[in-house]
Amino acid sequence: MHSMMGNTTGLLRAVLVASSTRTRDGFTLIELIVVMTIIALMTAVVVPMYQGSLTYVQRDRAVRDFVAHMKYAQERAITDATEYRFYFREEQRDFWVMRLASMKGDEKEFAYLDEGATEVRHLPETVHLDDSKARFDRDREANYVAFYASGACDYVKIVLESDDDSRITLETKGRLGQFEVKEK
C-alpha cells in the first residue's frame, strides 16, 4: 500500500508541475467578457459626443456656405457691374444665386450662372430659415436679396435656427453693403 501511495503522490506531483509550466494559448471567457464590457462602455460615452460635434460642424458649414454665397453675389455684382440676387426659400431650406440677364421694359429677367455657384444648395435637416425679412419673387416663389453694381444691397434680416435652439441672424446694411452675423 505504501508503494501505491508513493506512486500516486509522484503522479500527482508530476501533474501539478506539468500544469504550472504549461503555457496558455488563448484568453479565458471571463477575460473576453471584461474586455468587451470596457469597449461597450467607451463606445457608449464617445458616440454621443461625436454625433453632437458632427451636428455642430454641419450647422457651422451650412451657415458659412449661406453667407459665402451672399458675399459671392455681392462681389460678382460689383465686378460685372450688374445686379445679382441671392434667392432662398424657407420651407425648402434651399438657396442659390442668379444674375440680371436682360431688361424688358420695367421687367427684369434673371438667369442662372454658368459656373458651380448656380447650384441650388440645401441646408441640413437641423437648420431652418425662420422669420426672414426680405423681398419676395412671386415667379420663383422665393425670397431674395438684391446686390447692385455700387456694392449696395437690400436691407435684410435672415434668421437661421437650428434644432438645438441656437439662432444665427444675418443682417445686411443696405447702401453700405456690409453683413452682420450674430449668434445667440
CATH number of 47-183: 3.55.40.10
Q: By the 8 A CB rule, do 78 and 151 touch?
A: yes
Q: Return d(Cα 119, Cα 142) in angstroms, integer.
A: 15
- List the domain boundaries for the chain: 47-183
Q: Look at strands 127-133 and 107-112 and give their pairing.
A: unpaired
pTM: 0.69
Q: Which three cell numbers stand for residue 169?
A: 441672424
Mean pLDDT split into 10-residue runs, the chain, 184 residues: 54 55 75 92 81 75 87 92 93 92 90 76 83 86 93 88 81 81 82
- Chain mean position to CA 41: 27
**CB of 183 closer than 8 Å to CB of 167:** yes
Q: Take residue 180 and report the three cell numbers written for it.
A: 452682420
Q: For residues 183 and 30, what is the distance between their CA atoms, to the nearest angstrom?
A: 52
